[in-house]
């Protein structure tokens, strides 16, 4: 994925996002952190092709039909559809379902930690964490090359967020889609990512591109490593505009 001199304006006088040059390799997991209004969601929407740049070029792999899936903070499930039917939706919109599709739905649901007894439940019968798992399964079932996640776990408590972070990382390690993850939570960004892009507002721009210095696989123990706390402090410094040594 390559950004070349991208600019996004919603009106001629307001430059919302500017990205001179940015490259993200296939299979990378990158987080975007920054204050409210700095253009994180706008950047994701450009990659998702839900919006287009005012200027510049955003290139995805040449000649390949890039499958993109989006997960939002709100699970956005259809209330009158069961768990299974919600996850089936993106496949059903494309084609007549095959046995292979049914297996893919079952695999996606199990991968995110849902059990067979949950498959026929309606969203109102599920907890917030389970609804988010369904939303994640609905994105994964399309076998995306790029997974765009816009604060997917922001509404969940810390314990559940940590657990879902560990599962997401585990899924990424198995499937190796390219992950673009927006969060306000610095430890979450550090735990998940290989790279963190720190953004500032007015105009929205990337001010730091940080390599996260921890190996994979990562386990929950990493969060209590003093080096983890130190690196989180470094990211916070960049957010505040104070570069750390």
Ligand X SMILES: Nc1ncnc2c1ncn2[C@@H]1O[C@H](COP(=O)(O)OP(=O)(O)OP(=O)(O)O)[C@@H](O)[C@H]1O
Q: Are 16 and 39 in contact (CB under 8 A)?
A: yes
Is the Cβ of residue 46 or residue 147 nearer to ligand X in the bound state?
46
| Closest CB 149 distance from ligand X, rounded Å | 12
Q: In angstroms, rounded to a whole number, what is the distance separating the alpha carbons of residues 212 and 190? A: 7
| Closest CB 235 distance from ligand X, rounded Å | 16
Is the Cβ of residue 143 or residue 209 nearer to ligand X in the bound state?
209
Q: Which residues touch 124 (CB under 8 Å, ≥6 apart)? A: 79
Kindly report the backbone phi and psi dihedral angles of residue 146, in degrees, each rounded to the nearest multiple of 5, phi listed first.
-125, 125
Q: In angstroms, rounded to a whole number, what is the distance separating the alpha carbons of residues 112 and 138? A: 10
Could you tell me which residues are beta bridge partners of residue 32?
A: 182, 197
Residues at the site binding ligand X, with contacts judged by CB under 6 A: 10, 16, 34, 36-42, 204
Is the Cβ of residue 34 or residue 129 nearer to ligand X in the bound state?
34
| Closest CB 231 distance from ligand X, rounded Å | 22
Is the Cβ of residue 73 or residue 85 nearer to ligand X in the bound state?
73
CA-to-CA separations, 218 to 157, 162, 215, in angstroms, rounded: 21, 12, 7
Q: What share of the chain is helix, strand, coil (3-state, %, to 5)?
A: 40, 25, 40
Is the Cβ of residue 8 or residue 218 nearer to ligand X in the bound state?
8
| Closest CB 42 distance from ligand X, rounded Å | 3
| Closest CB 75 distance from ligand X, rounded Å | 17
């Amino acid at each position: 994925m390559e950004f070349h001199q991208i600019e996004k304006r919603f009106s001629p006088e307001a430059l919302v996002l500017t990205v001179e040059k940015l490259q993200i390799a296939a299979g990378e997991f990158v987080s975007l952190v920054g204050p409210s209004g700095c253009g994180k969601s706008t950047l994701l929407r450009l990659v998702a092709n839900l919006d287009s740049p005012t200027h510049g070029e955003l290139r995805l792999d040449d000649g390949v039909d890039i499958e993109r899936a989006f997960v939002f903070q709100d699970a956005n499930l259809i209330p009158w559809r069961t768990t299974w039917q919600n996850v089936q939706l993106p496949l059903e919109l494309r084609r007549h379902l095959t046995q292979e599709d049914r297996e893919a739905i079952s695999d996606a649901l199990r991968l995110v930690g849902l059990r067979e007894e949950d498959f026929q439940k309606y969203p109102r019968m599920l907890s917030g964490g389970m609804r988010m798992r369904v939303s994640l399964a609905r994105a994964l079932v399309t076998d995306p090359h790029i997974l765009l996640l816009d604060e997917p776990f922001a509404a969940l408590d810390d314990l559940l967020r940590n657990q879902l972070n560990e599962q997401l990382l585990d899924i990424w390690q198995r499937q190796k889609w390219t992950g673009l993850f927006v969060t306000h939570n610095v430890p979450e960004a550090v735990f998940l990512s290989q790279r963190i892009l720190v953004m500032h507002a007015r105009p929205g721009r990337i001010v730091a591109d940080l390599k996260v210095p921890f190996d994979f696989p990562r386990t929950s123990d990493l969060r209590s490593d003093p080096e983890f706390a130190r690196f989180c402090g470094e990211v916070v410094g960049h957010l505040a505009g104070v570069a750390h040594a």
